[in-house]
Amino acid sequence: MKKSLLGLAVIMCFSCSAQKQAVNTAPEEPVIRIASGMLRGVREGNVDVFRGIPYAAPPVGEFRWRPPQPVASWEGVRDAKEFGPICAQAGFGGGPGAISRGSSEDCLYLNVWRPSGARPGAKLPVMVWIHGGAFVGGSGNTSGNGFATKGVILVSINYRLGRLGHFAFPALTAEHPEEPKGSYAFMDQIAALKWVQQNIQAFGGDPKNVTIFGFSAGGVSIHSLMTIPSARGLFQKAIGHSSGGRDGVLTGRPISRENASQYYPVSAETIGINFARKHGIEGTDAAALARLRALKVEEIVDGGQENDGQEGPRIYSGPILDGKFVVENCSDAYNAGRQARVPLMIGNNSAEIGGPFVNGSTSKEELFSMFGDLKEEAKAAYDPDGTKDFAEVQTRFNTDKIWGEPARFAAQAVTKKGDPAYIFLFSYVPAGMKERMRFGPGHGTDISFVFDNLRVPEGGTADPLDKEVARIMNGYWVNFAKTGNPNGDGLPLWPLYNPATNQILEVQADGKPVGKPDPRKARLDVIEKAVNMGDKLQPNGI
């Protein structure tokens, strides 16, 4: 299960003394003051980087499974040259009793990249990156130089993962009734966005021009932030990479609460009780909660185990619909037009993932039979000549069901309210991966191009076409952050999405970005019809 998921969000003012200290500091060590104290970063070429900045108190001890608490101020100048710990996770090859190297429960840190020497009042656009990893892994410790060199401030964040990020238990529900419950990962993301509002002017950023963007679980987070009331006003634009858009969760992970059984058969509190029992903790009172908080972080992560044994009860809940903080599925919000009124850019790769990720079908006939009365329409859409390999059909179906059609659904909801939306389809396979990616680029392939941060073999050079695709992709994203429109000088036209004309931007297999009618229309239409008929295409075995 884990493998299938992982195969696969105070206005600054300089005192005179702070200005003098900045003047006397070496050029490679920029110093600024934020609300909680002074920071010393590092200059990397024409970019200033500030790493490992706490945006909330460590969520440990009594603050485990509590909303993020205010960060404590510090005296003197805090070093901000190194990344902070990533949030506790199992990582690949992990096992019970261990967590991934470099990860910790104390992990609520963020990083900032800005053009060198940017000053308060510069009002530079701000982008906030929310990493992916199925809500159980990943890290915001990346590189934002590709954005900062283009005049955009990039903020990346870490947020709580796994059972530390999403957890419900009866005693938690009763404790601190005034506090939000359940999806602490989303609370962390909102706390980071509030930190941006309070502090980004110190870096030269504009708190009224913030774009949130994320990939996979980070993309799912984008939809949640679009529909969680307490996130309103904290951002002005949104971008979803491989983010879905129909239900705000990954591949069947439940958003659940006791009174939402009409949506999901198992409540989040029941899942929490299952986890407690695995560790010999009976009861649901404050004493049981105290024992849960006394568990070592390694026991909480538990090697990434999501069930109590191979076939045991579910013990990891995923995002939680509690009714007060997360008040509805994003699909319900989009259908009712209750999402944030902001421009949206959204899309996915053309071959996100193959295999039995979405369904356990072993043949084309079995897969098409899932469509019921729409079987022949599905055949015509996915395999009109009857000549395609099952592996290709399955990959296209997986991609369309989880990412492609839900993205179109979200874009349609945004345009229905009169806000602009732009859809992208990334079909370019990097030069060094063409043998591995037979049907197109897989999950996450587009990210290094968007960041203009290509991985180059040691001692080698980047492929010229790869570099050009990265330049173009990064340019679109920078323009969107600045103006809400990805178009600009030197870039092929990206058409505004309109359901009537169905125009998208495809970065084609040859690397050329082309505005065109969506080539997936027939496939996405039959998926949409199946969803509207009750969705017989449910995930199997996830």
Here the CATH number for the domain that contains residue 277 is 3.40.50.1820
Q: Give the domain range for residue 30.
A: 9-87+99-304
Angle at 401 between CA 398 and CA 403, to 5 degrees: 90
Share of the chain above pLDDT 70, in %: 88
For residue 319, CA distances in Å to 241, 268, 479 come to 18, 9, 32
Is pLDDT above 80 for 6?
Answer: no
Q: Which of the listed residues 304, 321, 354 is the one where a domain comes to its end?
A: 304
Give the pLDDT of residue 537: 62
Same domain? 104 vs 238:
yes
pLDDT tens-place string over residues 161-200: 999 999 999 999 999 999 999 999 999 999 999 999 999 9
The number of folded domains in the chain is 2
On whether residue 80 sits in a domain, the answer given is: yes
- Measured between alpha carbons, how far is 24 from 86 in angstroms, rounded to an integer? 33
Same domain? 241 vs 348:
no
Of 42, 67, 64, the residue nearest 53 (C-alpha): 42
pLDDT tens-place string over residues 370-404: 999 999 999 999 999 999 999 999 999 999 999 99
Share of the chain above pLDDT 90, in %: 76
Evaluate the CA torsion angle 318, 109, 242, 357 in order and state its sign.
negative
For residue 32, CA distances in Å to 16, 35, 39, 156, 252 come to 12, 10, 5, 18, 44
On whether residue 438 sits in a domain, the answer given is: yes
Same domain? 182 vs 238:
yes
The whole-number average pLDDT for the span 211-215 is 97
Is pLDDT above 70 for 542?
Answer: no
pLDDT band at 313 (very low <50, low <70, confident <90, very high): confident
Which residues have a Cβ under 8 Å from the Cβ of 134 and sit 6 or more positions away? 2, 5, 6, 8, 216, 217, 250
Give the pLDDT of residue 121: 85
pLDDT tens-place string over residues 280-291: 999 999 999 999
On whether residue 423 sits in a domain, the answer given is: yes
Residue with tokens 């103006």: 483
On whether residue 317 sits in a domain, the answer given is: no
Same domain? 430 vs 480:
yes
Sequence-ordered strand ranges (E) for 409-456: 421-426
| 65-74, 312-321, 430-439: range with highest mean pLDDT | 65-74
Q: Which of 14-18, 36-40, 166-170, 362-366 has the lowest mean pLDDT?
A: 14-18
pLDDT tens-place string over residues 125-166: 999 999 999 999 999 999 999 999 999 999 999 999 999 999
Is pLDDT above 70 for 72?
Answer: yes
Average pLDDT value over all residues in the chain: 88
On whether residue 352 sits in a domain, the answer given is: yes
pLDDT band at 246 (very low <50, low <70, confident <90, very high): confident
Of 138, 129, 45, 117, the residue nearest 481 (C-alpha): 129
Same domain? 182 vs 112:
yes
Same domain? 273 vs 364:
no
Give the pLDDT of residue 24: 43
On whether residue 1 sits in a domain, the answer given is: no
Q: Which of 9-13, 218-222, 264-268, 404-408 has the lowest mean pLDDT?
A: 9-13
Is pLDDT above 70 for 514?
Answer: yes
Give the pLDDT of residue 92: 60
Of 316, 242, 359, the residue nearest 90 (C-alpha): 316
On whether residue 124 sits in a domain, the answer given is: yes
Is pLDDT above 50 for 250?
Answer: no
Is pLDDT above 80 for 266?
Answer: no
